[in-house]
A and B are shown apart, each in its own frame.
Chain A
Amino acid sequence: MSTPVVDVPQAPAESRVDYLNASYGIRSWLFTTDHKRIALLYLISITFMFFIGGAAAVLMRLHLLTPEGTLVQPETYNKLFTMHGLVMVFFFMIPSIPAVLGNFLVPMMIGARDLAFPKINLLSWYIYMAGALLFLYTVLTGGVDTGWTFYTPYSSIYANTHVLTAAFAVFIVGFSSILTGLNFIVTIHKMRAPGLTWFRLPLFLWSIYATSVIMVLGTPVLAITMLMVAAERLLHVGIFDPALGGDPLLFQHMFWFYSHPAVYIMILPSMGVVSELIACFSRKRIFGYSFVAFSSVAIAVLSFLVWGHHMFVAGQSIYASLIFSALSFLVAIPSAIKVFNWTATLYKGSISYQAPMLYALGFIGLFTMGGLTGLFLASLAVDVHVSGTYFIVAHFHYIMVGGAVMGYMGGIHFWWPKITGRLYPDGWARFAALVIFVGFNLTFFPQFMLGYLGMPRRYATYPQEFQVLNVMSTAGASILAVGYAMPLVYLIWSMRYGPVAGPNPWRAKGLEWETPSPPPTENFEETPIVTEEAYAYNDPPKRIVAAGSAQEGARA
């Protein structure tokens, strides 16, 4: 049963001024302070970086078709997986939902005209571009081969590749993240419309808020860590140098103090999107709203207590490992709470299967698998066996790609009509979603098996007996690539040829759907006043009751 798209009458696009046609010319875009335009600037940049990271993945998977690995030199293979990791983590996933969907939607969802600091918002995009350009320069001049984790002392003393520029690029792009998070925190605290209390906020905003707290608390530690590695390479100041009494493991502590919460920066916004999608396409409020809201905060806090689980076999003390292992089990609980609540929302909901919903349902299944395998890894004995193998690779790709990227795709599709004022062809979109789902599982499920059977990660060659599974994985990757290319085509096509969308083609609840599509620059003609809870689907329409009348006490 699918919800028909309803065309609510609005002024014809040609005669209405919206944020896209309010001003023309490259300068009006490069010097904009409109959060919606900045969101689009980010969308273009991160899509470009996504395909760069994807190209590295394609080369890796092609290389791994044969056990001897003859496509590229082993040194080049090292550079490929490093580049794939750095681009995907720092230049695609971390900005993705916050900088694109967050920037676009946060002011609209709270009824504000813009974020608290619009110029800082633009600055954060320029900082992102500076980091991305420096990183691309690193790639073009020979790349870096330390792995995205920059482990010392290889990265600080022995590597012959462009570690310095890569570390600086990461250092720079971290500040983009910090400024975005700062903006969101202040905006959500200080600029909510009258009547919009914390517990009436859409759950997307709770997720964005929790993500922003992580960005603000964790990214500075990454920044200082990158500076220290850079200082070692540049000035031979040996903070991680064992010859001076330095501890390479200290680098790992400081690196993972950020990088573990970073994976929650990548997943939390996606969970927020899924809450919005499940509610809209079940026509129901989210079951257990406050549990889901608090679980976002709990994830943000607990995410900082588990980083040692990346270091179980690195030489970390067994006692610290015990503590980190126990806490890692704990951090799974809030995520599970979300999954249970989404499932309960679906129960007896009026479900329709448009493309955004397919992505949301795919998220729930694949994230659950990825999350459960995370529990295997939290268990010390299992981790000793599979650490450094493809099991880990499969685990985090299930969460990051099967989870976070699918949530991002679902969100892009859901809000595309609002952002562009156009509808994309849903038939193609559903087909692409299915192609992505099939391609994804074919790529990464064999990797669980490879890892368990013992194939190490980051190796350019492998024993003959692993070839069948590797070929399956590469076949899946080619399907996945097609699946990702399709939205690029039909979404761009829709901007010119898609039917005009009304303000609310999904009949969804939320302040952003109360504006025309695309919205005007100021978002709202007048600041709205909020009188109902979030996701008030199927609430009976409120009767306007005169104060003091006989009906007032007997409201239905």
Chain B
Amino acid sequence: MAEHIVPVKTYVVVFLALLALTGLTTGVAYIDLGAFNAVAALAIAVIKMLLVILFFMHVKYSPRLTKLVIVAAFFWFGLLLTFTLADEFTRNWTPVPDSWGPAIAVPAPPVH
């Protein structure tokens, strides 16, 4: 089988990088960056995930179909998340009654 064998050195380097990134993400959590804390934590997690996928799981050397399958999976998860968020966080956008000003007075019907 002509399969690319990843050298052991690459594995060790990736491992050390993953440990370093774990330390980084833990350390950054102790610094107050406001909303950016969440962004940083997720960004670091994504980088770690990419390292595992590309090198430990050999995707860098895998056929295109494999890469397409992985991208599709994350895209579909994205669909679930995005469309559900689109509902959950826009429910309060509908204006409440009377928020556009007082109701117009309706004249009383003529009395015969």
Is B truly associated with A? yes
Within 8 A of A (CB), among B77-109: 79-80, 83-84, 86-88, 90-91, 93-94
Is A59 an interface position by the 8 A CB rule? Answer: no
Q: Across the interface, which residues of B come within 8 angstroms of A315, CB to CB?
A: 91
Q: Once the chains bind, are B91 and A317 in contact (CB under 8 Å)? A: yes
Also in contact, A319 and B93, with CB within 8 A (given A189-B65, A247-B88, A304-B76): yes
| Range of interface residues on B (Cβ < 8 Å) | 10 to 19
Is A370 an interface position by the 8 A CB rule? Answer: no
Residue interface bits A306-324, CB-to-B below 8 A is 1, else 0? 0110010001111110011
Within 8 A of B (CB), among A316-349: 316-320, 323-324
Q: Once the chains bind, are B87 and A221 in contact (CB under 8 Å)? A: no
Which A positions have Cβ atoms within 8 angstroms of B?
189, 217, 221, 247, 249-250, 253-254, 257, 304-305, 307-308, 311, 315-320, 323-324
Measured CB to CB, the closest approach of chain B to A268, in angstroms, equals 17
Q: Across the interface, which residues of A come within 8 angstroms of B79, CB to CB?
A: 304-305
Measured CB to CB, the closest approach of chain A to B103, in angstroms, equals 21
Q: Once the chains bind, are B88 and A323 in contact (CB under 8 Å)? A: no
Q: Which residue of B lies closest to A321 (CB)?
A: B87
> A308's contact among B76, B87, B94, by CB below 8 Å, is which?
B87
Q: Once the chains bind, are B83 and A318 in contact (CB under 8 Å)? A: no
Query: In the complex the two chains form, what is the Cα distance from A221 to B65 in whole Å?
Result: 23
Q: Across the interface, which residues of B come within 8 angstroms of A320, CB to CB?
A: 83, 86-87, 90
> A317's contact among B65, B73, B80, B86, by CB below 8 Å, is which?
B86
Q: Which residue of A lies closest to B80 (CB)?
A: A257
Q: Which residue of B lies closest to A311 (CB)?
A: B87
- Dominant secondary structure at the A interface: helix
Measured CB to CB, the closest approach of chain A to B3, in angstroms, equals 16
Measured CB to CB, the closest approach of chain A to B71, in angstroms, equals 13
Measured CB to CB, the closest approach of chain B to A138, in angstroms, equals 28
Within 8 A of A (CB), among B40-80: 65, 72-73, 76, 79-80
Question: What 10 A-B pairs are tightest by C-beta distance, nearest first?
Answer: A320-B87, A317-B90, A317-B91, A253-B84, A319-B90, A320-B86, A317-B87, A217-B76, A316-B87, A257-B80
Q: Once the chains bind, are A318 and B86 in contact (CB under 8 Å)? A: no
Query: In the complex the two chains form, what is the Cα distance from A77 to B96 in whole Å?
Result: 39
Given contacts A254-B84, A318-B94, A319-B86, could you give 14 more A-B pairs where the C-beta distance is less than 8 Å?
A217-B72, A217-B73, A247-B88, A249-B88, A253-B88, A257-B80, A304-B79, A307-B83, A316-B91, A317-B87, A317-B93, A317-B94, A320-B86, A323-B86
Query: In the complex the two chains form, what is the Cα distance from A221 to B79 in whole Å?
Result: 12
Q: Across the interface, which residues of B come within 8 angstroms of A221, CB to CB?
A: 80
Q: Across the interface, which residues of A come within 8 angstroms of B83, CB to CB?
A: 253, 305, 307-308, 320, 323-324
Measured CB to CB, the closest approach of chain A to B47, in angstroms, equals 25
Most buried by A among B76, B79, B87, B93: B87
Query: In the complex the two chains form, what is the Cα distance from A236 to B93 in whole Å?
Result: 32
Q: Across the interface, which residues of A come within 8 angstroms of B65, CB to CB?
A: 189
Q: Across the interface, which residues of B come within 8 angstroms of A324, CB to CB?
A: 83
Q: Across the interface, which residues of A come within 8 angstroms of B73, CB to CB?
A: 217
